[in-house]
Amino acid sequence: DIQMTQSPSSLSASVGDRVTITCRASQSISSYLNWYQQKPGKAPKLLIYAASSLQSGVPSRFSGSGSGTDFTLTISSLQPEDFATYYCQQSYSTPRITFGQGTRLEIK
Amino acid sequence: EVQLVESGGGLVQPGRSLRLSCTASGFTFGDYAMSWVRQAPGKGLEWVGFIRSKAYGGTTEYAASVKGRFTISRDDSKSIAYLQMNSLKTEDTAVYYCTRESGNWYFDLWGRGTLVTVSS
């Protein structure tokens, strides 16, 4: 199975900061990379699909980039509601899709 | 409202069985493939399995960790997907989410989840 590794595992930031989370695949996955946000006690929510396409209804401060093995999720200006855990997911090696271990974004 | 609602979770002993249900509303359920994703307490997300729409044969795929023990089915007339879990193990303890698959193996709609606890 393709291994997805996120960095950092946790991150402290302040409202208004620009934040970048990285996801690395153990082999090339082209642009088959998706990002989710999960708040405590809630279900994950799709943010970005196909590496850089913004899901409908998701604020434009979220953006994704990358291809091959290295991908990033960027939040341009952190808002209070953005403090959550973020997961990447590869959809290249189907049906054996895999998720990253998560990045917890905390308030500084 | 477009939504998925899981039910059927609870406490079960190791080796026993449990069936989860996922009731869909607000969209044409039969047009979509559906997946189950689980999350052990304090852990990350793990894809469990998937059922294609009838248009694509209604076939299923499973993660290696559950293959042979779990079975996914669907009743399009009732807009329900099921996850039959047999020979449960303590490591199956998790919140189980029902998800709608977009057509490109990402999940654009999630239920709120149902907790399954496997313990003696």
Whether A74 contacts A61, CB under 8 Å: no
pLDDT tens digit sequence for B75-116: 999 999 999 999 999 999 999 999 999 888 999 999 999 999
Q: Is residue A108's pLDDT more than 90? A: no
Tokens of A11: 């991150």
Asked if A64 has any chain B CB less than 8 Å from its own CB, the reply is: no
Read off the pLDDT of residues B30-60 as tens digits, 9 standing for 90 and up.
999 999 999 999 999 999 999 999 999 999 9
Mean pLDDT across the stretch A44-56?
98
pLDDT band at A34 (very low <50, low <70, confident <90, very high): very high
Report the C-alpha gap between A71 and A60 in whole angstroms.
Answer: 18
Residue type, A62: F
Q: How many CA atoms lie within 13 A of B97 on its CB side?
A: 24
Q: Report yes or no: B107 at the A interface, CB cutoff 8 Å.
A: yes
User: What pLDDT is recorded for position B33?
Assistant: 96
Contact B38, B96 (CB under 8 A): yes
> HSE of B119 in the Cβ direction (CA atoms, 13 Å)?
7
Q: Do B108 and A97 touch (CB under 8 A)?
A: no
How many Cβ atoms are within 10 Å of B4's Cβ, its own excluded? 24
Question: pLDDT tens, A86-105?
Answer: 999 999 998 889 999 999 99
Q: Give the tokens for residue A71.
A: 């991908």
Does B27 reach chain A within 8 Å, measured CB to CB?
no
Model pLDDT for residues A3-13, shown as the tens digit of each residue: 999 999 999 99
> Span A6-34, mean pLDDT?
97
Tally: H helices and E strands in chain A: 0, 11
Check the CA dihedral B9-B15-B19-B22 and report its sign.
Answer: positive
pLDDT of residue B103: 84
Contacts with A, B 37-56, CB within 8 Å:
37, 44-47, 50
CB < 8 Å to A42, chain B: 112
In this predicted structure, which of A94-98, B1-5, B14-18, B34-38 has the lowest mean pLDDT?
A94-98
